[in-house]
Amino acid sequence: MKIIFLDIDGVLNFNGCRERIDTIYFVNDKKLRLLKWIVGRTNARLVLSSTWRLGWFDRDKGLENEEVLIFNRLEEKFKEYGLSFLSKTPVSESGCRGHEIRAWLYGWEGEPIESFVILDDNCDMEPYKGHLVQTSFWHGLRIRDALRAVRMLAS
Ligand SMILES: [Mg+2]
């Protein structure tokens, strides 16, 4: 199984992006289409590593707060594109995404992982810097990033 560890802000949205929920940036359709394209080419599954997953954790706990509502909106939007999340990374004390991804990989007991990429605009990915396709908050996910992700998932 191939995995994409997916960040949201700076990947599926970007500075100045029109899609918003109140004051926060939502997700942009062009970027979602590009993600869909990567998934279509690779059959990769999505693991949410973004802070947007906090709403998912809250929902699991039976809470109904703003984060939960926003996460639900995200999930619905993904559904429109035929996309869904396999899982989410755990929250670590360090808050370092690389550590959270490592914890997820070590804890995963499903189908073996053949390859994975990290789509994120941050770079705190140690020890997996080599798996990072780094986007930027100025542009979000771009075609060249998508091409790179497909290439990395194939190897
Ligand atoms: Mg981000």
Residuewise pLDDT in 10s, the chain (155 residues): 999 999 999 999 999 899 999 889 999 999 999 999 999 999 999 999 999 999 999 999 999 999 999 999 999 999 999 999 999 999 998 889 999 999 999 999 999 999 999 999 999 999 999 999 999 999 999 999 999 999 999 98
Q: How far is the CA of 121 from the centre of ligand 1 (A)?
A: 5
Q: How far is the CA of 119 from the centre of ligand 1 (A)?
A: 9
Q: How far is the CA of 72 from the centre of ligand 1 (A)?
A: 19
Q: How far is the CA of 9 from the centre of ligand 1 (A)?
A: 4
What is the pTM assigned to this prediction? 0.97
Q: How far is the CA of 51 from the centre of ligand 1 (A)?
A: 8
CA nearest 67: which of 50, 52, 48?
52
CATH of 2-154, one of 3.10.350.10, 3.20.20.70, 3.20.20.210, 3.40.50.1000: 3.40.50.1000
pLDDT of residue 22: 86
Q: How far is the CA of 63 from the centre of ligand 1 (A)?
A: 24
pLDDT of residue 1: 97
- Per the DSSP assignment, residues forming a β-bridge with 6 are 48, 119
Cα gap 17→55, rounded to integer Å:
22
Q: Structural domain boundaries of the chain?
A: 2-154
Q: How far is the CA of 52 from the centre of ligand 1 (A)?
A: 10
pLDDT of residue 23: 86
Task: Please name the residues in contact with 150: beta carbons below 8 A apart, sequence gap of 6 or more.
Answer: 38, 41, 42
Torsion of CA 35, 40, 44, 49, to 10 degrees: 10
